Amino acid sequence: MRLRKRVSNHPAVVSLRNKLGIKQYFGQNQEDKTIAQYFGDFKGTLLSIGENDGITYSNALHFILNGWSADLVEPSQVAFSKVSKLHRGNNKVAIHQVAIGEQNGEADFYDSGQLEGLGDTSLVSSLKKDTTTMWTGVNFNKITIKTYDFQTFNTTVARYKTYDFITIDAELMDLTILKQMDLTKLGCKCLIIEHGGEEATKKQMIDHCTKHGLSLAHTTQENFIFTK
């Protein structure tokens, strides 16, 4: 099963299936399929924070393959190289090797090794050192990366300034990032975010999204999906 999954996630296979017009979904629990049903034939702009290699558990790739424009954020050098290669030649996609944090500058980043046995990398990487004790058997490499608070990233780094769809998967940084976002000003119609399972965190995420006119539409073990 893992070998089959690894083959199906190979960029060449993804590209071929796309050329054949086969619908493909990549989310951990096919959250992207749920979101695709919400948007229908609409093509807009998305922001993915923590896009990883661009395929493994991606909530964004389905939409990019179907003509969406995107800003993709991925601080890990290995994962950044993979996602850059995947979208090479697509002028609708901008990829940024930075992290979204609480301030501008540089920070320690704990870059994780393989997690799922699928040739994956950096799936549980984080700015937070605590993540290194949460995953048994996963190796972490501490590196220094460039960081921006969200406002600076949005105004000076990002190609696009508003987003119909936002996906956040940043390992213990998700709420910190979300609270910096004016979802109304960003034009967000749909947001998926890793909630981490803690009730206090979940409540703050729901409260922030509700304040901006987004309602909780779907919940999985890992994620919340909010829609207008």
- Report yes or no: 49 and 170 within 8 Å, Cβ to Cβ: yes
Query: Sign (positive/negative) of CA torsion 188, 29, 172, 123?
Result: negative
Which residues of the chain fall below pLDDT 70? 1-8
Which domains does the chain show, CATH number per domain? Answer: 17-98+161-227 (3.40.50.150)
- Report yes or no: 68 and 21 within 8 Å, Cβ to Cβ: no
The CA distances from residue 215 to 87, 182, 190, 212, in Å, are: 32, 15, 9, 9
Q: Which two tokens stand for residue 17?
A: 């299936």
Average pLDDT, the chain: 93
d(C-alpha 144, C-alpha 95), whole Å:
19
The pLDDT score that the predictor gives to residue 1 is 35
CA 91 centroid distance within chain:
19
